A and B are shown apart, each in its own frame.
Chain A
């Protein structure tokens, strides 16, 4: 559901600036964690997974017209640090295609990146207890639920000072100055819950397919190799 990208000029400046700052620190931390990685193996993997995320976002599942984003798959395959960077790359590419704002790359990356980090963590928590399919599917549902709550929180925080966005009272378009985060939350959760189920089924099936065809991609030890340069 966090694939629903927030355009420029909608959110208060303080919020997206904070998002950018936190995103820069998070990306810096990820780059620090990756300083010893095997670039010849990891950069193509990063590019391939980010590209697959973008292609998946272009697929429409009929009859619901739902778009998946595969951020949990990215987290499972790349690990939390590279998964976060894959989310950043996907958001940068999307912003460059006019699909999501430039100023809100920070917030969008934090949302999508937290899906990769949470997805990775939850998958590894479940994988020794239940099958690969159900581990990935459960991790996806829980992750998307939590990041949707984060999306609602962003909207709630941005509603604290609506006058930052527009001169509401001046033009009389705010009823008693009240805003309804509840309406937004109901819309996003009701539409999103259908999406979480689809995304969970697809993520589970993709991860199971990879575990059968190329299991080394799921071997996280690969991500700790040193390039020896």
Chain B
């Protein structure tokens, strides 16, 4: 899937212009790019838009090459769907850029915005159970990824992974997931109990995430440029 821990590191560790922009501006940027993908019926403007996003990401000091690689995950279903149409290269190209362009924009948002800032915006919009569930998932995820790494290393050292044996691999993975689940529930319960004792009631303490800043020109300008490209270049 995705290296979640690395994404979090990029989000928390960068100081570029995209990192300094406000969360609402980056959400608007994302909505503009997603709208471009929805309305586009020609692959060329979206390809150009993808190029614009790449250039902006590189100029802003975002890990553009890794982000580009991650954005291509979205192409899998698009290719299958395009094949089912018995379409030519044009259709396949259109579906691929429709998939990877918004995906790249989402990745630009998350590699430049620490999750607590995104969640603080969510907690203002979502019901408490969902906002708290999202936050607990995020907190538990990093603990689990670490535990899973240790588990995978232990299994490898003991010869538990064999590329040719589906049965053996499945059995070992099942035990690992079961153990992981039990520990995750215990850890999450302790964590939530501590948060409740400290006054947590479903909302995040992050302040000022909903205000626009001077640095917002970059995401707003980029989003507008991509949308204009698709509208003008039909």
In the complex, which residues of chain B have a beta carbon less than 8 angstroms from the beta carbon of A61? 166, 169-170, 173
Binds A, one of B14-22, B131-139, B208-216, B221-229: B131-139
Minimal Cβ-Cβ distance residue in B for A203: B174
Given contacts A44-B188, A47-B139, contact A175 B34 (CB under 8 A): no
Partner-contacting stretch, out of A96-104, A118-126, A141-149: A96-104
A198 to B187, CA, bound (A): 28
The docked-state distance in angstroms from the alpha carbon of A59 to that of B166 is 14
Q: Does A46 contact B (CB under 8 A)?
A: yes
- Is the CB of B163 closer than 8 A to any CB of chain A? yes
Q: Which of chain A's residues have a CB closer than 8 A to the CB of B232?
A: none
Contact B192 A155 (CB under 8 A): no
Report chain B residues within 8 Å CB of A100: 74
Residues 37-53 of B at the A interface (beta carbon under 8 Å): 37-38, 40-41
Chain B interface helix/strand/loop/mixed? helix
For A184, give its contact among B7, B38, B80, B171 (CB under 8 Å): B80
| Number of A-B contacts defined by CB within 8 Å | 278
B118, B129, B145, B179: the one contacting A39 at CB < 8 Å is: B129
- The reply on B83 being an interface residue by CB < 8 A is yes
Nearest CB in chain A: distance from B179 CB, A: 7
B78: interface (CB < 8 Å): yes
At the interface, yes or no: B1 with Cβ under 8 Å from chain A? yes
The distance in angstroms between the C-alpha atoms of A180 and B81, with both chains bound, is 10
Find out whether the CB atom of B106 lies under 8 angstroms from the CB atom of A96: yes
| A209 lies within 8 A of B166 (CB) | no
Is B4's beta carbon under 8 Å from chain A? Answer: yes
Complex contacts, B110 vs chain A, CB 8 Å: 96-98
Most B Cβ at <10 Å: residue of A4, A6, A9, A167: A9
- On chain B, the residues within 8 Å of A85 by CB distance are 129-130, 133
For B95, give the chain A residue with the smallest CB separation.
Answer: A10
Q: Is A92 an interface residue (CB 8 A)?
A: yes
B58 within 8 A of A: no
| Complex Cα spacing A135 to B188, Å | 28
A45 touches B185 (CB 8 A): yes
- Please measure, in the bound complex, the distance between the C-alpha atom of A13 and the C-alpha atom of B38, giving whole angstroms: 8
Interface residues of B in 146-169 (CB under 8 A from A): 148, 161, 163-164, 166, 169
Would B88 and A173 count as touching, CB distance under 8 A? yes
Which of A41, A43, A73, A214 is packed against the most chain B CB atoms within 10 Å?
Answer: A43
- Report B64-122 residues with CB < 8 Å from chain A CB: 67, 70-71, 73-78, 80-81, 83-91, 94-95, 98-104, 106-107, 109-110, 118
Q: Is the CB of B137 within 8 A of A178?
A: no
- Contact of B203 with A by CB under 8 A: no
Say whether B133 contacts A46, CB under 8 Å: yes
Chain B hits for A174, CB < 8 A: 85-87, 91
Closest to A54 in B: B141
B220 at the interface (CB under 8 A from A): no
A7 and chain B: residue at smallest CB distance: B99
Contact at B188–A184, with CB atoms within 8 Å?
no
Compute how far the CA of A45 lies from the CA of B185 in the bound complex, rounded to whole angstroms. Answer: 6
Inter-chain contact A8/B137, CB cutoff 8 Å: no
B144 interface contact, C-beta 8 A: yes
B196 within 8 A of A: yes
Residue contacts A-B, CB under 8 angstroms, 30 given? A9-B37, A10-B98, A39-B132, A40-B193, A40-B196, A43-B132, A46-B137, A47-B137, A47-B188, A48-B181, A49-B181, A50-B133, A52-B144, A57-B1, A59-B173, A59-B177, A61-B166, A85-B133, A97-B70, A97-B110, A98-B67, A101-B99, A155-B81, A180-B85, A180-B86, A183-B86, A184-B81, A202-B174, A205-B175, A209-B178
Known A179-B86, A205-B171; 11 more pairs at CB < 8 Å: A9-B40, A9-B102, A41-B189, A45-B188, A48-B187, A70-B177, A96-B110, A102-B106, A174-B85, A184-B81, A209-B175
